[in-house]
Amino acid sequence: MTDLLAIGTRKGLWLARSDDGRRTWTLGEPHLLAQEVAAVSIDTRGPAPRVLAGIQYGHWGPTVMRSDDLGASWQETEAGAIRFPGDTGAALARVWQLRPDSADRPGVVWAGCEPHSLWRSTDGGATFDLVRGLWDHPHRPTWEPGGGGGAVHTVLPDPASDRVTIAMSTGGVYVSEDRGTSWTPRNSGISAVFLPEPPPEYGQCVHKVAVDAAGPDRMYAQNHFGVFRTDDAGKAWTSIAEGLPADFGFPVVASPATPGTAWVVPLVADMQRVPPEGRLRVHRTRDAGETWTELGTGLPDRFWAAVMRDGSCADEGDPTGLYVGTRDGCVYASADEGETFTLVADHLPDVLVVRAARIGS
């Protein structure tokens, strides 16, 4: 059994592996060097794990690369895996999210992209189709780009139903109950401090959404100010920020195994995107956001960088492993739900995304 950690950075992709139950990690050589990797996924549903990477060549534009041999070789769909249909007049700017669907939907992979768009593949990520229901949504012209660009950055397909939840910066949370045909905004209760009161039906800058292990109706949202929870699939959100040192931040991660357990990485504010007191700390809840505990064993002080939207993730281990990648090129791993962290990598380029998977038998 090997635990694999994919680390996408502004200048390449690294794979780290642990063969001793996540106690120690070995960092491999760079892949896709000098190319921005803002999205990565490890698809373990097939006969061999498939690594998908959404890359931005800088000068040469975005594309999706895939590897079925853990980076020994990479393939690219000749005509492009993600291509806007001609009638849209649009062009792909960046791939922000790659999300394999559930095991009983083999080959289905979702992609969230810039400009605001959602894509669905049925061939493991070789080719994607534009989800027209979202592209044609009457709200779309009003979804403004956030600081990182207009992005569908979170895609959460429900394995047990036809529901798909997405989050966008900006735009907020939208839910489809019919696998993408129709979409409804679900932002009631989520603030939008950059807009006049009262908060709008949509247009929020939700940075990340995570589904609780208790079931698909309970989700957490790290907002552009504010941390929220819903218990009814987004119909209503309530603040769970009390007890946190700050309610700004980018990632929110939920344990896939333990209901009520989630993590955030607070930053001071949008105009001060550094951690409180210059200390990298993770805050964990065990009770769905009623209370929070600061965790920092193994994490640095005198730390003035940030953790991006996809810079943190959980794994499927028991207990849940937690991973944190920073903009100063460090990656920390915890095999005990955040109680203690060990350094996996340092001196990498800015970490944009981390994804973990358990491979092998």
Identity of residue 281 = R
Shortest Å, Cβ 89 to other proteins: 6
CA distance 330 to 53: 20
Shortest Å, Cβ 202 to other proteins: 26
Size of the site for other proteins (CB under 8 A): 17
- Which of 80, 319 has the CB closer to other proteins? 80
**Residue numbers 57-116 binding other proteins by CB under 8 A:** 57-61, 63, 76, 78-80, 83-84, 86, 89-92
Q: Residues 6 or more apart from 258 whose CB is under 8 A from it? A: 213, 286, 319, 320, 337
Shortest Å, Cβ 344 to other proteins: 25
CA distance 199 to 197: 5
Using alpha carbons, list the distances in angstroms from residue 247 to 224, 231, 251: 8, 20, 11
- Which of 52, 265 has the CB closer to other proteins? 52
Shortest Å, Cβ 250 to other proteins: 21
Q: Residues 6 or more apart from 56 whose CB is under 8 A from it? A: 35, 36, 38, 62, 94, 95
- DSSP per-residue codes, 77-142: -TT-SS---GGG-----EEEEEEE--TTSTT-EEEEEETTEEEEESSTTSS-EE-HHHHT-TTGGG
Shortest Å, Cβ 335 to other proteins: 35
Q: Mark 8-37 with x for binding to other proteins (rule: CB under 8 A) and - for no binding.
A: ------------------------------
Shortest Å, Cβ 93 to other proteins: 9
Is 314 in contact with 357 (CB distance < 8 Å)?
A: no
Which structure tokens are listed for 5?
A: 């950690």
Is 234 in contact with 256 (CB distance < 8 Å)?
A: no
Is 281 in contact with 253 (CB distance < 8 Å)?
A: no
- Which of 75, 291 has the CB closer to other proteins? 75
Shortest Å, Cβ 41 to other proteins: 21
- Which of 79, 103 has the CB closer to other proteins? 79
Strand partners, 227: 222
347 binds other proteins (CB under 8 A): no
The torsion defined by the Cα of 360, 123, 126 and 37, in degrees rounded to 10, comes to: -50
Shortest Å, Cβ 361 to other proteins: 36
- Which of 73, 361 has the CB closer to other proteins? 73
Which residue stretch of 52-60, 212-220, 288-296, 315-323 sits at the interface with other proteins (rule: CB under 8 A)? 52-60
- Which of 33, 195 has the CB closer to other proteins? 33
Is 148 in contact with 161 (CB distance < 8 Å)?
A: no
- Which of 56, 261 has the CB closer to other proteins? 56
Place of tokens 């552009």: 224
Which structure tokens are listed for 210?
A: 């995570």
- Which of 11, 45 has the CB closer to other proteins? 11
- Which of 61, 215 has the CB closer to other proteins? 61
Which residue stretch of 51-59, 145-153, 217-225, 285-293 sits at the interface with other proteins (rule: CB under 8 A)? 51-59
Shortest Å, Cβ 249 to other proteins: 25
Q: Which residues bind other proteins (CB under 8 A)?
A: 57-61, 63, 76, 78-80, 83-84, 86, 89-92
